[in-house]
Amino acid sequence: MFKKILVANRGEIAVRVIRTLKEMGIQTVAIYSLADKDSLHVQLADEAVCVGGNKSQDSYLNMKAILSAAVGTGAEAIHPGFGFLSENSQFAQLCEQCGITFIGPKPETIELMGNKANARIQMQQSKVPVIPGSEGFIHSVDEAIKIANKVGYPVMLKAASGGGGKGIRLVKNEVELRKAFYQAQQEALSSFNDDRMYLEKVMKNVKHLEVQVFRDENGHVAYLPERDCSVQRNKQKIIEESPCSILKNDERMELGKIAIKATESLNYLNTGTIEFLMDEHHNFYFMEMNTRIQVEHTISEMVTGVDIVKAQVLIANGDDLPFTQDDLKAHGTSIECRVNAEDPQNNFCPASGTVDYLYLPTGNLGVRIDTELYPQATVSPFYDSMVAKVVSWGPTRDEAIAKMKRLLDEIIIKGIKTNIEFHQAFLCDNQFMQDNVSTEYLEKEFLPEWKKGRFDATL
């Protein structure tokens, strides 16, 4: 087993990984920027190395500095967390060249699945159902128009190397497509240095489901119960739950079989998440694959009892999967609310500052809070606004929701603005309570009413 692992990330995910590594008896190395010198992950690690200035490109994206820190401290492996370099094939390749184990899939797999159009082609060849649209890259606006006319408007124009909502445009007609094509292409070029585009039909009233998969070096493969990630704003997940309450057992098994087929077609290694759209008739369509651990892995852990980070480390060490498919049953329901440092009343503008006072409820069955916050901690403006993940579990979905409402009601964070009251209001929404929420619901139906003050956040 590895004796020392460097965690190439920050915030709550770095804290979460470090804690599991400590439980496994593995020495930990944290990296940090100047802005994060007093952060919790730095305090918890056995060693910590400053890798650059405040900006991500100077620190958490600084491959040379991170690899130097790993070599200098004698780390045998690197856990990338999510975001930053977690899906960077060049970084994974450099780790190999330095004799350091990258805890994740092979560089060529990251490269293949990181390009969304190539991923579509791979899934089509593997007989995995994909969203109707282009079969490869779109090289001109005229080609895009031809495909859009075939599948029908509205369509979603997407950057092949996209992520974080960049290089994506919703297009309702040919006039909009002509204008949006060049805008999206330029945004993709500046964000990813790749202006290749592809196109998918916009599917209405869909749920966003995802399946986390594992595969070890000996070909053992398994999937975790699905997660429903349909509560979104600006294509960013806000609330997730597992399992999806409206799926029947035979549908759940069918979704799992599709995920396994995709995983085996890639000769995948370690863990990844395959994301699907599910239409009103419960047909599943491949959307993309994230070749890393997900923010919302917590809810899968709550319903299965599996430590996903520990499994990642074991697989990276060459061990077999520490579980079989029969072990991965969903027990009860788990829900996660992402707590962001932002002001929902001011168009969700990111917030920063010092945490003057903090109270996080602990105790009671089915409670988990992953966070980087502590009293007097500084929330800087340089990184993602998520500062905590509040996770509840209950024997039923209604009980998990009730527990989440209680947790959010007890949390006190003073000194920075957060979106907790927004979560409280949404959890009281009838459509959410009935699990009748599509990917468009929060933005198109709930948010306009909430802005008018028609929801009481203290219910």
> Which residues are the active-site residues?
292
Neighbours of 375 (CB within 10 A): 12
Query: What CA–CA distance (Å, rounded) separates 365 from 117?
Result: 43
In 128-255, the DSSP E strands lie at 155-163, 166-171, 197-201, 207-215, 221-223, 227-233, 236-242
Question: Which residues 6+ apart lie within 8 Å of 427 measured at CB?
Answer: 337, 401, 404, 405, 408
Q: What are phi and psi of 430, to 5 degrees?
A: -60, -40
Query: What CA–CA distance (Å, rounded) separates 185 from 262?
Result: 29
Question: Which residues 6+ apart lie within 8 Å of 189 measured at CB?
Answer: 195
Angle at 307 between CA 306 and CA 310, to 5 degrees: 135
Pairing between β-strand 27-33 and β-strand 4-7 as defined by DSSP bridges? parallel
Provide the CA 243 distance to its chain's centre, in angstroms.
16
Tell me if 17 sits within 8 A of 271, measured CB to CB: no
87: closest CA among 175, 163, 148? 163
Query: What CA–CA distance (Å, rounded) separates 215 from 315?
Result: 8
Query: What CA–CA distance (Å, rounded) separates 183 from 190?
Result: 11
Question: Which residues 6+ apart lie within 8 Å of 335 measured at CB?
Answer: 239, 240, 241, 299, 391, 392, 397, 400, 401, 404
Residue 156's SS3 state is strand
What's the order of all strands across the beta sheet hosting 155-163? 166-171, 155-163, 197-201
Query: What CA–CA distance (Å, rounded) separates 448 from 238?
Result: 17
